[in-house]
Amino acid sequence: MKIVYIKSIINGLIKSFRLTIAFCLLLGIGYVLVLWTFSRIASPNNGKAEVVYSKAENKDQSHKIVGAANIGQEFHSNKYFWGRPSSAGNGYDASSSAGSNAGPSNIEYLKKVEQRREIFLKAHPYIKHNDVPAEMVTASGSGLDPDISLQSAYLEIRRVAKARGISEKYVKQIVDKCVQHPLLGIFGPEKINVLKLNIMLDNK
Amino acid sequence: MGTEIWGAILQIVIMISLAYPLGKYIARVYKGEKTYLDFLKPVERLIYKVGGINPDKEMNWKTFLRAMLTINLFWFVWALILLVAQGYLPLNPDGNGGQTIHQAFNTAISFLVNCNLQHYSGESGLTYFTQLAVVMLFQFVTAATGMACMAGIMKALAAKTTNTIGNFWNFLVKSVTRILLPLSLIIGFILILQGVPMTFDGKMEVNTLEGKVQNVSQGPTAAIVAIKQVGTNGGGFFGANSAHPLENPTYLTNTVECIAIMLIPMAMVFAFGFYVKKRKLGFSIFGVMLFAYLVGVFINVHQEMQGNPRLTSLGISQHTGAMEGKEVRLGSVATALWSVSTTTTSNGSVNGMHDSMMPLSGMVEMLNMQINSWFGGVGVGWMNYFTFIIIAVFISGLMVGRTPEFLCKKVEAREMKIASLMALLHPFLILAGTGLAAWLAVKAPEFVSREGGWLGNQGYHGLSEMLYEFTSSSANNGSGFEGLKDNTWFWNILCGLVMILGRYIPIIGQVAIAGLLAKKKYIPESAGTLRTDTLTFGIMTFVIIFIIAALAFFPAHALSTIAEYLSI
């Protein structure tokens, strides 16, 4: 009786092994290969992360890759628009995405938010104390958020224009050109990709 | 803000209107009727041949469960070996090492039970080989396991009097080839078009505009993201899951992914109605679940749009809502909607960090998992609701003085005992686990600090973190309050055990109930039958589920989420 029982278990395990191999062939190879082939044809960058280029500095140079289109970068210089605070590695580390996971009542976190606001206010002395937008003092979920809202970009215009020595009106024009509208015009938030905006500024 | 709300409405409308036809289709698949995808038959025949399986052999409920448990045991060993050995296996361009034994134990179980709790970060904790041969493979087959079990139960309930409930292998294979695979392909195509990577190259090194070096992790992401959303798996390719801009680059991908979370769980409810030829019963169950889901959505959207009161008192302008742990391209409303979708179903993927959401949002997320039967995981969610139907039938039968019957079968003491055990197991696992962790945190601080210190947040929120981890494990959800430093012996082993118990005991119990009911004498409906497809009975079930959850979990919430809400 016992031997029959053990035999049936072993039998079941062998069946399981064979079925798993069959699934590996169908999914691990078949399904993956279909999607991989499709990505070679239809994806924006042959299946790799989409990249953005800066303009060549002279005629001999080819366009240079300066980043992944969807991955945010750290900006400190006054010449550039700034993105959001990041908790990925030491900031915008695209090989270890992470949020801060700080709870809403965490005291150290609230202190950090206050510090960030002071830094933001120092860099933009012309804005009112109560106008600092939440997204500029809070870390994003991935730590790689490439976007900021239109309101935040408008607040930064004067600083960038001053650092570059160009008119605010001109910078605003570029910002407005970079606005990405909601899906079909009505679904989801309006936003601006900071990296693309900064490249556009450099190229003008 | 307005456009964000329209976005949420769009997502809900599409998910419901797609779930209905899909449910009809799923019922046809499990009945073996003609469908559009019959051209896949040769593929299925080949799988049966390689697997050495006779798909037409009927099984009784015990053989059915034995087959399910055997293959799961095999998968466990398979995953454990591959995860520990991954450093030596191919497809490892980033040179990641093997997992430690306790981490591999946790990861293997986590994917085996369709939970996808991740105590590692995808960029460094896995290789492309294990992402595909463990994570992705399991995301298909374990989702199919849950669906196959539900198919068995439907067959048992639809039959008049029978000993057999169908063939497990047949249901398993068909769930993959006819339902999960086609849907994943469609979603994968959309994701790829929108810029989700699908490559075997390693990290991409770029020099940033300010002249720093940035290493961008990528990989065969689209393949995994598609199935992790469809199969209520949730285990992300990257550490930040669907908050990561390569896993979820645009509002369109977010919409598609969020719909994909709810699609099969919703469709399964309709499928049940079609399968047992009681569409009205299907609708009434769907209505109860949808109501609970929408209440949750409303609370979370409201909470997140208002923003964090502490930041408001600092004078920060929160016109976009609470933005800590959220992404600008998705916005606070879409993240709130997702947080409810991913916890009502046992998906567990996130597009924003739950740990940083408002206290009441956290409460709704946990309550969804603690109840674990509003839509729920593919197959198993409906099965949990089925447990409560049995209890509701029994109680209301006693209340109105009629014999408790469900689908023309008498519900008797034996089924009722099993159902009660199932209903109580889940709260027991969660509360006992959290109790132990909280006790250790207070009474044995040396042990906790030797483990690296667990809590990312102190006070009420710290208790929420521990409660969430056990809730998510037992509900096989897989999301987390990730501030908890959980890659330690204690959390890996204990959560591993909770996940196993929270998965297999309910499935065994529910299939057993269905198997026992199937064997009973068929009693045609009469004027004396308690009707289960009415609004009254729907409300009755809802109330029973809610009361059990409230009685079990209110004290824990009073000390964690509600206390934090009141103090904030």
- SS3 per residue for B114-130: CCCCCCCCHHHHCCHHH
The pLDDT assigned to B73 comes to 94
Token reading at A8: 């049936």
Same-domain pairing of A78 and A21: no
Give me the sign of the Cα torsion angle A175, A178, A180, A184. Answer: positive
Element (H, E) at B85: helix B61-85
- B252 at interface of A, judged by CB pairs closer than 8 A: yes
Same-domain pairing of A33 and A83: no
**Cβ contact B246–A70 (<8 Å):** yes
**Residue B406 forms beta bridges with which residues?**
B409
Token reading at A118: 């002071």
The CA distances from residue B430 to A5, B96, B467, B495, in Å, are: 35, 33, 7, 10
- Residue B349 is which amino acid? S
The one-character DSSP state at B164 is B
Question: Judging by DSSP bridges, how do beta strands B405-406 and A191-193 pair with one another?
Answer: unpaired
**Cβ contact B204–A48 (<8 Å):** yes
**Cβ contact B316–A134 (<8 Å):** yes
- B213 at interface of A, judged by CB pairs closer than 8 A: no
Q: Which of A20, A48, A110 sits opposite B310 (nearest CB)?
A: A110
B21, B23, B26, B28 alpha-carbon torsion, rounded to 10°:
-70
Mutate to test the interface with A, among B214, B363, B464 (most CBs of A within 10 A): B214
Q: Which of A97, A102, A144 sits opposite B324 (nearest CB)?
A: A102
Number of domains in chain B: 1
The pLDDT assigned to B97 comes to 87
Q: Which residues of B touch A104 (CB under 8 A)?
A: 308, 310, 322, 324, 356-359, 461, 564, 568
User: What Rg do the C-alpha atoms of chain B give, in angstroms?
Assistant: 23
3 state DSSP class of B60? strand
A175 Cβ neighbours under 8 A, 6+ residues apart: A150, A153, A154, A157, A192, A197
For B159, half-sphere exposure in the C-beta direction (CA atoms, 13 angstrom radius) is 21
Query: Torsions phi, psi of B410, nearest 5?
Result: -70, 130
Token reading at B105: 């134990």
Helices (H), B307-402: 309-313, 331-344, 359-371, 380-400
CA B38/CA B119 separation, integer angstroms: 40
CA-wise closest residue to B344 among B469, B475, B229, B251: B475
The owner of tokens 């089924």 is B415
- What percent of chain A has a predicted confidence (pLDDT) above 70? 96
Domain final residue, candidates A9, A26, A48: A48
Q: Which residues of A touch B353 (CB under 8 A)?
A: 99-101, 141
Token reading at A167: 């008119």
CA-wise closest residue to A39 among B185, B193, B227, B181: B193
pTM of the complete model: 0.94
Note which residues in 459-498 of chain B have CB less than 8 A from chain A.
459-461, 464-465, 481-483
User: CA of B363, closest CA in chain A: separation in Å?
Assistant: 13
Task: Reply yes or no on whether the pLDDT at A58 is more than 60.
Answer: no
User: CA of B418, closest CA in chain A: separation in Å?
Assistant: 26
**Cβ contact A54–B192 (<8 Å):** no
Q: What is the b/e burial string over B143-178, where b = at least 16 CB atoms within 10 angstroms of the residue's CB?
A: bbbbbbbbbbbbbbbbbeebebbbbbbbbbbbbbbb
Same-domain pairing of A55 and A79: yes
Same-domain pairing of A91 and A69: yes
B22 Cβ neighbours under 8 A, 6+ residues apart: B263, B264, B267, B270
Same-domain pairing of A72 and A36: no
Same-domain pairing of A19 and A112: no
Cα A53 to chain centroid distance, Å, stands at 16
**What is the three-state SS of chain A?**
CHHHHHHHHHHHHHHHHHHHHHHHHHHHHHHHHHHHHHHHHHCCCCCCCCEEEECCCCCCCCCEEEEECCCCCCCCCCCCCCCCCCCCCCCCCCCCCCCCCCCCCCHHHHHHHHHHHHHHHHHCCCCCHHHCEHHHCCCCCCCCCCEECHHHHHHHHHHHHHHHCCCHHHHHHHHHHHEECCECCCECCCEEEHHHHHHHHHHC
User: CA of A153, closest CA in chain B: separation in Å?
Assistant: 12
Cα B180 to chain centroid distance, Å, stands at 15
CA-wise closest residue to B43 among A154, A147, A22, A182: A22
Same-domain pairing of A17 and A56: no
User: CA of B174, closest CA in chain A: separation in Å?
Assistant: 12
Contact B459, B559 (CB under 8 A): no
Q: Is B365 buried (19+), middle (13-18) or exposed (0-12) by CB count in 10 A?
A: buried
Contact A203, A190 (CB under 8 A): no
Contact B239, A97 (CB under 8 A): yes
- The whole-number mean pLDDT for each consecutive block of 10 residues of chain B, a chain of 568 residues, reads 91 96 96 92 94 92 94 95 92 87 92 89 87 93 96 94 93 96 97 94 90 92 95 90 95 96 96 95 96 97 95 91 95 96 94 95 96 92 95 91 88 94 95 96 90 87 95 94 89 94 95 95 86 92 94 95 94
CA B327/CA B241 separation, integer angstroms: 12
CA-wise closest residue to B174 among B41, B56, B303, B285: B41
Token reading at A27: 């999914």
Same-domain pairing of A99 and A68: yes
Task: Reply yes or no on whether the pLDDT at A60 is more than 80.
Answer: no
Residue B384 lies in domain: 2-567
Same-domain pairing of A31 and A104: no
The owner of tokens 């469809």 is B230
Mutate to test the interface with B, among A13, A26, A137 (most CBs of B within 10 A): A26
- Which chain A residue is nearest to residue B209, measuring alpha carbons? A66
Question: Sheet harboring A179-180: ordered strands across?
Answer: A147-148, A191-193, A179-180
Task: Reply yes or no on whether the pLDDT at A63 is more than 80.
Answer: no
- B329 at interface of A, judged by CB pairs closer than 8 A: yes
The pLDDT assigned to A61 comes to 61
A131 Cβ neighbours under 8 A, 6+ residues apart: A155, B317
Q: Which of B66, B200, B209 sits opposite A67 (nearest CB)?
A: B209
B539, B544, B548, B549 alpha-carbon torsion, rounded to 10°:
-20
CA B206/CA B549 separation, integer angstroms: 51
CA B395/CA B530 separation, integer angstroms: 11
Same-domain pairing of A4 and A65: no
Q: What is the pLDDT of residues A66-98, one digit of tens each?
A: 899 999 999 999 999 999 999 998 999 999 899
**Cβ contact B252–A183 (<8 Å):** yes
CA B316/CA A152 separation, integer angstroms: 13
Q: Beta-carbon neighbour count of residue B347 at 10 Å?
A: 33
- B146 at interface of A, judged by CB pairs closer than 8 A: no
Mutate to test the interface with B, among A63, A79, A140 (most CBs of B within 10 A): A140
Contact B140, B114 (CB under 8 A): no
Contact B537, B392 (CB under 8 A): yes
Number of domains in chain A: 2
Note which residues in 110-129 of chain B have CB less than 8 A from chain A.
121, 123-124
- Say if the ipTM goes beyond 0.90: yes
- Residue A138 is which amino acid? T
- B74 at interface of A, judged by CB pairs closer than 8 A: yes
Same-domain pairing of A21 and A84: no
- Residue A75 is which amino acid? F
Same-domain pairing of A70 and A43: no
Query: Torsions phi, psi of B317, nearest 5?
Result: -80, 115
Residue A35 lies in domain: 1-48
